[in-house]
Structure 1
Amino acid sequence: MQQTIIDNYKQAAAQANQQAVKYKKLANTYSLLRLGIFGLMVFAIYLTIAQDNFTIMAVSFALLLAAFAWLVARQGSYERQRDYYLDLQRINLNEIDSLQNNANLYNNGQHYSNEKHIYSSDLDIFGNASLFHLINRAATSTGNDKLADWLNAPADKPVILSRQQAVKEIAANNEWKVNTQTKLLFAIKEDTDQMKRLFVYLSTPLKLPGEKWLTSYIKISPYLLSFALLAGIFLYPVFKLVVIAIVIFNLLILISKGSYILRGGAIADKIGSVLANYAIVFNAIESHQWQSQRCVDLNEKLRTNQTSKNIRELSKLINKLGYSLIMIVGFLLNVFFLWALKQILQIEKWKRSNHHNFEEAFDVIAEFEALISLAVPAINYPDWVYPVIADTEGYTVKAKNIAHPLIPGKRVDNDYDLQDAFKIDIITGSNMAGKSTFLRTVGINTVLALAGSTVCAAAMEVSVITIVSYMRIKDSLNESTSTFKAELDRLQMLLAAVEHQHRVFFLIDEMLRGTNSMDKYLGSKAVIEQLIAKKGVGMVATHDLQIARLEDKYPDYVRNYYFDIQVIDGEMLFDYKMKHGECKTFNASLLLKQIGINVGEE
């Protein structure tokens, strides 16, 4: 199955490359034609001087400028098509790389890592080779933030179910997903603060003095100049002086308003092409016929505000402003139309009418990126399943053939059954037998389930719970914290969470490692008994067999499971399968013997 998925991505990447080569050739051809137009303009100037006939230049420039503008538009279109297919190729190759090498061109979320978070550090949610690294397909900074928020805390059941339906719809429309990723890939290189600057720009008026009369004059200026120019050529030579006077007056206006043009254009110039790209993305969302309620609601926000249309208009205005920077073309546009000032005034008019609700619109893109990311497992790993979100009085964490999604190759799966109950499961076992991995397996799949994605299991049912982990406890030289002190801090946090937070499900891996064995046992036993008193629910992995005796004291609350090994001819064999009961076989002495240390009996 997975090889078929990889082959499909390879075929799509090859087709995208063929299209990219095609449009690259067309763009190069039109670039040469543009150079030819420039040469004809130079020749027209030569003829005008040689023939002393201004009509030649006037007519030639009018025709050549029109031809030049058409060529620019065509070349730009072909370059955009080329870039689109190159990005489409990258997107498909990235999926192949993800499936084969666990690689990803998108952000791995390292900057979201927080060792003090209740579970993200212990469960490898962020950073290299993390869950975020596996599924993230968000190019924008806001999309990354949204996905990180969803993985950092469980959603409510209605929200989870609405996300599930949206993810199912996106997963069933992989072509739309890949195309939308392609259209957003430009944002992966953008400055993370760019959108903040855009929102500030849209909400800050320029306050240009004399805006009203300038707007009126700009409308009639090209007609006045054209009339004076034609009259000077065909009727009265004295009108040539009028032409010069109008040109000088127009240039003086531009010079006097130069600071406003520069101020307004400085930011606009940087975001024009970016806005055009976002307009394409908004249109991709708006034009799709959505069925799931969450996608319908998100789409309605855009359609109500005509987001793609409005952003496309602003992008065009900003791009038109850029024409004024094109040497001879810019000079003529400014002389005839006061072009730069005209576009600045149009942009300000647009800002006054349309700057509202734009942050909400860009949040729609962020949410779609997060949903696309949650759909990745459903598409790339079709054997994963959508979990059932239970609504039980007790805790429910039930799974069939559940495995760790970040383990490459053949994964060993296990079953787990906590059905509408309040239990603490003690898991004993040898070193490297799979205790810690199983705790992380349950934890990371629960995070996926409560975010709205599929899980790495044949079936899973889980109630809305808050995972709290106690696994990778580290000392801190910066905070002058010993390992034992760090463990005490984590225990205090865990106990407080169980008492005050809703439905905490804890994952504890080897408590109190930073103290002697007797204190460790007595302390661990006391902690578990306090958790029982608080009706805490979760799993405790330990090497200490005495902890397993708690099942005798609390038979209705404590259950024992274990991971064991087989030793055949001195070789340890791990099956990584969890079984009922307590472990009887340990392997520390065998492991020490393998590195040359013989452990004698007392």
Structure 2
Amino acid sequence: MFKTEQEIQTNYEILIDEFENKIKVVKAKIDRFSFLRVALLLAEVLVFVVFVSVTNELVILIAGFCLLLPIIIFIAVVKKQQVLEKEEAYLKNLLWVYQNEVAVSTGNGNGYDEGTSFEDDSHPYLADLDVFGKSSLFALINRCATYEGIEKLSNHLSQENNKVAILERQVAVREIFSEIESTFGFRANLKMHRTNKIAEIKYKLKEQLAKQLKFTQGRFLKLYVKITPVVTITLFLAAVVVGGKLWSVLSLLVLVNAAVTFYYMKRINMLYYGFSGSAALLNDYGTAIAWTEEREWKSDYIIALFDSKEKVSLQIKKLAKIIQAFDVRLNILLSAVLNFFFLWDLRCCIKIDQWHQTAASKVENGLDRIGSFEELISIATLTFNHPTWTFPEIVDDFSFSSTFMGHPLIPPPKRIDNHFEFMGQPTVDIITGSNMAGKSTFLRTIGVNMVLAYLGAPVCASKMTLSIFRLLTYMRIKDSLHERTSTFKAELNRLKMILTQVALHENSLVLIDEMLRGTNSKDKLMGSKVFIERLIDLHRPTLFATHDLQLSELKDIYDAAVRNFHFDIQINNGEMDFDYKLKDGPCTIFNAAILLKEIGLSLDN
């Protein structure tokens, strides 16, 4: 197993080269088969010319046999080419999967959904911690190609979880991680399909199919469809041998079959078009589900995803074969022959009804399982891509302790890690410091790593121990023209939400970045002071980033309940040097005067 992120990226690049070469080889084979198909077609034309031109009976017999040979070979070539084209499509998807991993690791974006539809400014922490949207935590993690997987991942990032569930998910992620190499193939099978296809199939199976299949359940129709191929073939062979009126009887039967097919055509079409083009889709879903069934899973979380030990993948692939046979109707000439002689469409409809009665309910669980595994694979891939990250220890008693903790969305070369821990009881930790020194990033670092921890994922730290907190943040407060809300009103609404939540939940953790920016400095200071004192009274742990040095003086009043930390700068030859390291005590060095001077404003004037 790889030891560094750079080694992992290099391995992805090696795999990309390998699969690009494999695709070229397969493509060359497909091209050769395409040339062979043209050659066979020309050969068939040539033999046909000979067949109709000669008069010698022996030559006619040989030419007649030779007419069949190119057709037989042509059918075999088409089937082989279809296999190669499917292989090429799979290899291209697998190539995309590896290319996407490189893109994510190099900061070029994730080709999977970035979760913008889940953004919610009113949520207690989502917007402030960059959980959803472009360059978000979700965009870093997500490897789900189905909406079911996307939704499961978004729910676990948005909702509070309990200790038992988190620990079970950690074990499940570790188990998936042990199968990480095969998960790329799992993802490749799902890549080519739209995210909502599973929902469409489930709706079809649960809400529509039973009604659409009612017409197939009549005893007479079933019997007629069953015996028609036998009667047709018997009549045809008899007509060939005996001739005469038997050809007329066969013609009459063909007309009756055509009439029966046309009579049911509207219902046949309704059933077919609900599955049209789904054979490849169902096969790929069946392959993905088979991957989940082929392994002896040990973790309780994964075992609970299975309703039974029955292999649902076989049932899905069985349905795919029926749909594939149904697709013959796309060839008008062949469809006419098969329907008029064998009632082909009706036979497929009856087979779907038989399948529906025995397998439909079981298949739903298998389809749901795909999304659950996608979510776990997403987290396992995160684990694989970041080998220095660690799974946190979740404890019952009030606790937060971290070593070499960094922000997961900042790439390693730019990321600065810090150590931080809570005391044995809740405190308000006031963090002062100059502009751009790292206060806001530090608050988000704590919050976003907690979100990862509660997801059951590894955190961006060498070690972390924490209890379950209900995160409440106040960072990016915006006005709203649509809601006619000023910045100050938006801030008050956010503060009200926090005060309500901290009163209701003892495990609340509050992260505040520069409170009451929308009012004057005097009211801002007094409001911040009152708010902090309220949190002290409630014994709620809080990290409070501010430029107001006077707030650090609360330590003198509430010695056991307040701690001071800061981020500072060093001035070297008039240049600012940020180290982004958290230090004890209030800040003594600020940089506003230097920043103003850089744009032509001097406080000395």
TM-score tier after normalising by the smaller chain length:
over 0.9
Residue 234 of structure 1: aligned partner: 241
Cα distance in structure 1, aligned partners of 2:468 and 2:44: 71
- More deviation, 184-193/162-171: 184-193
Name which of 451, 456, 464 aligns with 1:452: 456
Question: 1:36 and 1:207, CA in 2 relative to 1: closer, same or farther beyond 3 A?
Answer: farther
2: CA distance, partners of 1:203 / 1:593: 76
How far the C-alpha of 1:517 sits from its partner, in A, is 0.7
Distance in 2, Cα, partners of 1:250 & 1:35:
36
2:28 corresponds to: 25
Is 2:331 the partner of 1:315?
no
Distance in 1 of aligned mates of 2:383 and 2:233: 63
Separation (CA, whole Å) in 1 of partners of 2:87 and 2:187: 15
CA contact (8 A) 2:506 2:540 kept: no
Query: In structure 1, what is the equivalent of residue 223 of structure 2?
Result: 216
Instruction: Indicate yes or no: 2:552 matched with 1:548.
Output: yes
Q: How big is the shift at 1:256?
A: 0.8
Match of 2:304 among 293, 297, 322: 297
The Cα offsets for residues 517-568 of structure 1, whole Å up to 9 and x where unpaired, read as: 1110111111111111122112010111111111111111111111111122
Give the Cα separation in 2 of the matches to 1:216 and 1:62: 34
Q: Where in structure 2 are the equivalents of 1:545-584 lying within 5 Å?
A: 545-584=549-588
Given candidates 151, 155, 159, the residue that maps to 1:145 is: 151
Cα distance in 2 between the residues matched to 1:566 and 1:478: 44
Contact 1:397 1:462 (C-alpha < 8 Å) held by counterparts: yes
SS of alignment partner, residue 192 of structure 2: helix
Contact residue 434 and residue 590 of structure 2 kept, 8 A: yes
- Structure 1 residue 401, shift from structure 2 partner: 0.8
Alignment of 1:65-104 (within 5 A): 69-104=75-110
The residue number in structure 2 matching 1:325 is 330
What CA distance in whole angstroms lies between the structure 1 residues aligned with 2:14 and 2:113? 26
Q: In the alignment, which of 338, 348, 354 is matched to residue 343 of structure 2?
A: 338
State the secondary structure of the residue aligned to 1:427.
Answer: strand
**Counterpart AA for 2:530:** A
Q: Which secondary structure does the structure 2 equivalent of 1:187 belong to?
A: coil
Q: Distance in 2 between matches of 1:257 and 1:137?
A: 44
How does 1:5-154 map onto structure 2 within 5 Å?
A: 5-34=8-37, 69-154=75-160
For residues 168 and 434 of structure 1, do their structure 2 counterparts lie closer, same or farther at Cα, with a shift above 3 Å needed? same
Where 1:599 maps in the other structure, the secondary structure is coil
User: Which residue identity lines up with residue 439 of structure 1 in the other structure?
Assistant: L
TM-score, normalised to structure 2's length?
A: 0.92
1:591 aligns with 2:595: yes
- 8 Å contact kept, 2:390–2:460: yes
Q: d(CA) in 2 for partners of 1:307 and 1:39?
A: 45
Q: Give the stretch that moved more between structures: 20-29 or 90-99.
A: 20-29
Counterpart residue number, 1:525: 529
Q: Number of paired residues? A: 597
**Closer/same/farther in 2, CA of residues 209 and 238 from structure 1, 3 Å limit:** same
Structure 1 match to 2:170 = 164
Deviation at 1:224, TM superposition (A): 1.4
Shift of 1:352: 2.5
The alignment partner of 2:510 has SS state of: strand
**In 2, Cα distance between the equivalents of 1:509 and 1:20?**
52
1:412-467 per-position Cα deviation (integer Å, ceiling 9, x unaligned): 11111115421111111111111000000000011001101111111111111111
- Alpha-carbon distance, 1:285 to partner: 1.1
Moved more, 130-139 or 265-274: 265-274
Judge which range, 490-499 or 59-68, deviates more.
59-68
Whichever residue aligns with residue 360 of structure 2, its letter is H
Aligned residues: CA RMSD: 2.6
Q: Deviations over 1:349-405 (max 9, x none)?
A: 22222221444322211111111111222111101111111111x2x1210010111
Match runs of 1:129-528 below 5 Å: 129-188=135-194, 194-195=200-201, 197-199=203-205, 200-202=207-209, 204-208=211-215, 211-298=218-305, 300-301=306-307, 303-392=308-397, 394=398, 396-408=399-411, 409-528=413-532
- Say if 1:550 and 1:357 are closer, same or farther in 2 by CA, change over 3 A: farther
The structure-2 alpha-carbon separation of the partners of 1:532 and 1:359, relative to structure 1 and needing over 3 Å to count, comes to: farther
1:312 alignment partner, SS class: helix
- CA deviations 1:102-132 (Å, max 9, x no partner) are 4211111111111111111000111111111
* Contact 1:427 1:561 survives alignment (8 Å): yes
CA distance in 2, matches of 1:597, 1:135: 44
Runs (5+) with no aligned partner, structure 1: none
2:426–2:539 CA contact under 8 A, matched in 1: yes
CA distance in 1, matches of 2:211, 2:153: 30
CA separation of 1:61 and 1:504: change in aligned 2, threshold 3 A: farther
User: Residue deviations 1:174-216, cap 9 Å, x none?
Assistant: 2112111111112356668634544434454432167322222
- For 1:130 and 1:574, the matched residues in 2 are separated by 25
Distance 1:61 1:451 in 2: 65
In the aligned structure 2, how far is the partner of 1:552 from the partner of 1:239? 111
Distance 2:516 2:201 in 1: 47
Contact 1:55/1:233 (8 A) holds in 2:
no
Residue type at the aligned position of 1:318: I
The worse-fitting range, judged by mean Cα deviation, of 327-336 and 461-470 is: 327-336
Taking the aligned partners of 2:233 and 2:47, their CA distance within structure 1 comes to: 20
Between stretches 335-344 and 517-526, larger displacement belongs to: 335-344
- The answer (yes or no) to whether the contact 1:201–1:267 under 8 Å persists in 2 is no
Match of 2:542 in 1: 538
Q: Structure 1's 195 and 210: CA in aligned 2 closer, same or farther, altered over 3 A?
A: closer
Distance in 2 between residues matched to 1:297 and 1:44, nearest whole Å: 63
Indicate if the aligned counterparts of 1:377 and 1:384 stay in contact, CA closer than 8 A.
no
- Comparing 432-441 with 84-93, greater Cα deviation is found at 84-93
Q: Give, in angstroms, the shift of residue 273 of structure 1.
A: 2.1
How many angstroms apart in 2 are the aligned matches of 1:24 and 1:541? Answer: 59
Is the partner of 2:278 in helix, strand or coil? helix
CA separation of 1:560/1:490 partners in 2, compared to 1, >3 Å: closer, same or farther? same
SS in 1 for 2:422: strand
Deviations along 1:194-245, whole A, 9 cap, x unmatched? Answer: 3454443445443216732222222221221112111112223321112211
Q: In structure 2, what is the Cα distance between the partners aligned to 1:61 and 1:493?
A: 81
CA contact under 8 A between 1:109 and 1:132: conserved in structure 2? yes
Q: 1:333 and 1:452, CA in 2 relative to 1: closer, same or farther beyond 3 A?
A: same
SS in 2 for 1:356: helix
Mean Cα deviation higher: 525-534 or 6-15: 6-15
1:3 aligned to 2:9? no
Indicate conservation of the 8 Å contact 1:205/1:348, yes or no.
no
Q: Which amino acid in 2 is paired with 1:163?
A: R
| CA distance 1:356–1:210, shift in 2 (3 Å) | closer
Gaps of 5+ in 2: none
